[in-house]
Amino acid sequence: MNAWRAAALLCVVWLPALAAGGQALDGATRENWLHHGGTQSAWRYSALDQINAENVSRLVPAWVFQTGDYVDGLQSTPIVIDGVMYLSTNSNHVFALNAATGEQLWRYEYKGQPTAGFWVQFQPHNRGVAVEAGRVFLGTFDNYVVALDAATGGELWKVNVDNTAQCGCMIRSAPLLADGKVIVGVTGGDGAFRGYITAFDARNGRLVWRFHVIPGPGEKGNETWKGDSWKFGGGAPWSIGSYDPELKLLYWGTGNAAPDFYSGDRVVTPRRTDAGINLYTASVVALDVRTGKLRWYHQEVPNDVWDYDSAYEIVLFDAEIDGRPRKLLLHMNKSGVTYVQDRVNGKVLNAFVVPEASNWIGGVTRDGKLVDRREPAVGEMRNFCPSGFMGAKSWNQMAYSPRTRWFYTPTLETCMNIESMPQKPVEGGFFVGGTGGVVLPPGRDNYSHIDAFDPLSGERKWSYPYRYVLLASILATAGDLVFTGNPEGFFFALDARSGRELWRFQTGAGHRGSSVTYAVESRQFIATPTGWGSIIGGMAAGLFPGEGEKWRKGSAVVVFALPEGE
Amino acid sequence: MQIFFLTVLLAASPVADDAALQASLERGEQLFAMTCATGYCHAVGGGAGGGGARLAARGFTQDYIRTVATEGRAGTAMPGFKDRLSAAELDAVVAYVATLNGIERPDIGAAGDAAATAVSALSEPAEKGRVLFHDSLRGFARCATCHQVRGSGVPAAEPITRVPADARELHALATPNVATVTIEGESMPGLVVSRGERGVLFYDLTLPPPVLRTVAAGGVAIEPGSRWRHADVIRSYSDAELLLILEYLREISP
């Protein structure tokens, strides 16, 4: 071990806690990358600063691991604990690797039953595992949650969450570990399906609770659905939530109502916007982690008719507002409307629009009310920005730095033509209620950017433009760096304070996953998945004929560090 | 019972041709809605819009539709579905898209046979039983939580080989395969799948859904018999509903 390095690492471990005032929520990672979002607060921020704005230009590849699973790119977030990296791939293969060398320790291949017939819905994708107390947890393409022995990769338990062929749903997200439970949502948001979040006991796989996004008959909120429409009303919480262990509250974003573009059969008339429409779709819900009971909710898009999910990650952070320390959360809706809320009671404290191309509303008030909505219509194709399919960003996650107190997000500038069509539901089948296609907004020469925003003021601090669309997560570090990758294969670092590009490296394939950082024996590593793919990735490539087809597939983890001995 | 016989007889009569065509086209429309008219690709009913081409009123021949649906179109996002849909499913989709192009009585190929089987397969009560068996609104309290039938559901329990005569028998069902499994001092009802050198594989039946657990052979004790009762896990169903489920199981049993 290099003594200088050890000293440097020890220093950075303590600095953020002091900077944040000691008591404020600390969502930073250090040697380990423990959870999908780094920590349960989803900052995607590391306190490691061995690699910093001064020396990042000297980064070199340390090792590369080819997964051999080239199904549809690599969307994963690696988990790193005590020098071991746990990585999952789209075909539900799981690898344990020596995080310093890339040597494979074990490999597990999930043997499930791929569902034939329904092509788009059941394309296997996987965004990562969760690891805790010697167990590795995986959600599968046929709806099982599997626990593996972290030492051997052997199965410990597995339990079925739902019947894939019937529900049209599957698990693509990494599970969230909270309060001894392994918690998963499901896909199915564009299908005739009723979404839910399920919690299992991490020790033995036994069911602890299930929260239905759409309340059943007799439950509060069911009255916001017309007739039987609640049965297949969507709301699939297909991504991952966050957790505040002090409040024992779980925060999760829910999917759009189904059918996506036509609400005539699901909305009670006359519309009541004050109490919400089609609850609890397109909402952030706060659940008691012990029971799964709803504590509060905030519906971001009442009567969603654009496919504006609220399923994305939820960043938990603390800040002073008007001289008072507040427990907050930050959440971007797929529409790009971004909310800052008190995470104790859900009160909206700030709301603002992130993308530049935004014509579905006139704006949003500071307390989160949508102003001047324009809606799709039957028998007429209308143009809306941002696009519902791709979103103002995709599921790829933003990062939050406690040093700048800004968040960093990939922002997409795309639009969509939508025509509403009434549709009858078939359980588990597509239930889109219309049609549409993603198009580029006119008059631009860039279609995405990485933005730094102050969440409290809603002010954009800097913007790094990019010609195509950025579909990889952001990583922020105490070295005042922001990392991400682009579809052309470049992995790059920006100065977190200015947005200036400091370094780039061609990894050989497009970026659609989530990079992480960690340390082994005091050497800091930056690891990025690489390998273009996914339905949205294909759609994005199609927007740039003659160029998009150059974005390369693949499935590898490329890991960087400063040269040995430096 | 008379009603069931009538339905089966009708299906076997000359009307079956029309019924098979109708069933095949309905299946094709359903498959099209699920697989093709995603909004991401084609539009509902083959209309304009979506990322892909309009498919209705294009003057396509059935052969052309079959070729593109089977093999895909090179240089476009349209994949071949020969490995993604069964032959019968592909026939049904192709026939449905043919009707969108003015072909009123398309060739339904193997789909016809499958559809004909489907039409004659289930009586009305048995169809209700099928829906109840897989009823997603019951969550983990449905039969399919532990039983797999026709490839659907979780195969925790052994395949159903003998259908109980009535609801009473179903409640009182003997379950000799459910044992008492003890791990680290905790006893639980368990359905043992295998015991070998690598360990014991069993379904933990403490509460639905069943959890397939693997434990080291040395760390587990298995005693015959258990306090687990089938009656306790079928409580969400009324006796009348159980009768419909039994009718379904009888009709599909070999």
- Residue B161 · residue B151 · CB < 8 Å: no
Q: Which of A157, A216, A423 sits opposite B212 (nearest CB)?
A: A157
Partners of B198 on chain A (C-beta within 8 Å) are 154
Average pLDDT of the segment spanning B6-27: 65
CB-nearest partner of B49 from A194, A381, A433: A381
Render each residue's pLDDT in chain A as its tens digit; 566 residues.
444 444 444 444 434 443 444 478 999 999 999 999 999 999 999 999 999 999 999 999 999 999 999 988 999 999 999 999 999 999 999 999 999 999 999 999 999 876 654 545 557 899 999 999 999 999 999 999 999 999 999 999 999 999 988 898 999 999 999 999 999 999 988 889 999 999 999 999 999 999 999 999 999 999 999 999 999 999 999 999 999 999 999 999 999 999 999 999 999 988 766 679 999 999 999 999 999 999 999 999 999 999 999 999 999 999 999 999 999 999 999 999 999 999 999 999 999 999 999 999 999 999 999 999 999 999 898 999 999 999 999 999 999 999 999 999 999 999 999 989 888 888 888 888 888 788 999 999 999 999 999 999 999 999 999 999 999 999 999 999 999 999 999 999 999 999 999 999 999 999 999 999 999 999 999 999 999 998 888 889 989 989 999 999 999 999 999 998 77
pLDDT score of A559:
98
**Residues A75, A512 contacting (CB under 8 angstroms):** yes
CB contact under 8 Å between A435 and B48, yes or no, is yes
What DSSP letter does each residue of B156-180 carry, written as one string? Answer: TSPP--S--SSHHHHHT---TTEEE
A162 at interface of B, judged by CB pairs closer than 8 A: yes
Alpha-carbon torsion (A514, A520, A525, A530), positive or negative? negative
| A74 contact B CB<8A | no
Strand order from edge to edge, sheet including A249-253: A242-244, A249-253, A283-288, A294-299
Find the residue in B nearest to A120 (Cα).
B35
Of A117, A194, A538, the CB nearest to B85: A117
Query: What is the number of H-type helices and E-type strands within chain A?
Result: 3, 38
B12 band by pLDDT with thresholds 50, 70 and 90: very low
Minimum-distance CB partner of A538 among B77, B84, B209: B77
DSSP A342-383: ETTT--EEEEEE--S---SSSEE-TTS-EES----BBTB-EE
B contacts of A434 (beta carbons < 8 Å): 39, 43-44, 49
Q: Which two tokens stand for residue A353?
A: 């629009």
Beta carbons within 8 Å of B120's beta carbon, 6+ residues apart? B8, B11, B12, B16
Say whether A117 and B45 touch across the interface (CB within 8 A): no
Q: Which residue of chain B has the CA closest to A426? A: B30
Contact at 8 Å (CB) between A239 and A185? Answer: yes
Cis, peptide link before residue A270, omega less than 30° from 0: yes
Residues in chain B closer than 8 A to A437 (CB atoms): 49-51
| Tokens (6 digits) for A195 | 């979404």
To the nearest whole Å, the CA of A349 is away from the closest chain B CA by 35
Tell me the DSSP string of A474-493: -EEETTTEEEEE-TTSEEEE
The reply to whether residue A157 touches residue B211, judged by beta carbons under 8 angstroms, is: yes
Q: Is A152 on the interface with B (CB under 8 A)?
A: no
The complex scores an ipTM of 0.93
> Domains of chain B (ranges plus CATH)?
2-121 (1.10.760)
- Please report, rounded to a whole number, the percentage of residues in chain B having pLDDT higher than 70: 85
Which pLDDT does position B51 carry in this prediction? Answer: 62
**CA A199 to CA A176: how far, in whole Å?**
9
Q: H helices within A83-240, ranges in order?
A: 164-167
Query: Residue B41 and residue A154: Cβ atoms within 8 Å?
Result: no
Q: What is the pLDDT of residues B47-76, one digit of tens each?
A: 765 567 789 889 999 999 999 999 888 767
Q: What number of other Cβ atoms are within 10 A of residue A194's Cβ?
A: 24
Residue B3 in this model has a pLDDT that exceeds 60:
no
Whether B96 and B4 have beta carbons less than 8 Å apart is answered as no
CA-based nearest residue to A206, from A236, A182, A231: A182
Q: Which residues of B148-178 are buried (b: 16+ CB within 10 A; e: fewer)?
A: bbeeebbebbeeeeebbeebeebbeeeeeeb
Q: What is the Cα–Cα distance from A483 to A476, expressed in whole angstroms?
A: 6
pLDDT at B15: 54
Q: How confident is the model at residue B20 (pLDDT cuts 50, 70, 90)?
A: confident
All residues of chain A having their beta carbon less than 8 Å from the beta carbon of residue B214 are: 154-157
Maximum alpha-carbon separation in chain B: 71
CA–CA min distance A28, chain B (Å): 35
Q: How far away is chain A from the Cα of B82, in angstroms, using its nearest Cα?
A: 10
Of A244, A260, A307, A318, the catalytic one is: A307
- Is A229 part of the contact surface with chain B (CB cutoff 8 Å)? no
- Would an 8 Å CB–CB cutoff place A356 in contact with chain B? no
Regarding predicted confidence, which is higher, B150 or A475?
A475
Note whether A435 contacts B213, CB cutoff 8 Å. Answer: no
Give me the pLDDT at residue A16, please: 42
- Say yes or no for a CB contact (<8 Å) between A159 and B31: no
- Under 8 Å CB pairs connecting chains A and B tally to 137
Cβ-defined contact of B39 to A432 (cutoff 8 Å): yes
pLDDT tens digits along B87-109: 888 999 999 999 999 998 998 88
Burial class (CB in 10 A: 0-12, 13-18, 19+), A443: exposed
What's the pLDDT score for residue B82?
A: 82
- Read off the DSSP letter of residue A31: S
Mutate to test the interface with B, among A225, A430, A438 (most CBs of B within 10 A): A430
A307 part of the active site: yes
Global pTM value: 0.90
| Contact status of A538 with chain B (Cβ, < 8 Å) | yes
Minimal CA separation from B243 to chain A, in Å: 23
Q: Which domains does chain A have, with CATH numbers?
A: 3-103+125-561 (2.140.10.10)
CA distance A358 to chain B (A): 21
CA distances from B159 to A286, A329, B61, B163, B235 (A): 41, 49, 44, 11, 21
pLDDT digits (tens, 9 = 90+) for B22-50: 888 988 887 887 678 776 677 777 876 55
DSSP at A519 = E
Interface list for A 515-534 with B (CB within 8 A) = none
Query: What chain B residue is nearest to A387 in terms of C-alpha separation?
Result: B40
pLDDT on residue B109: 81
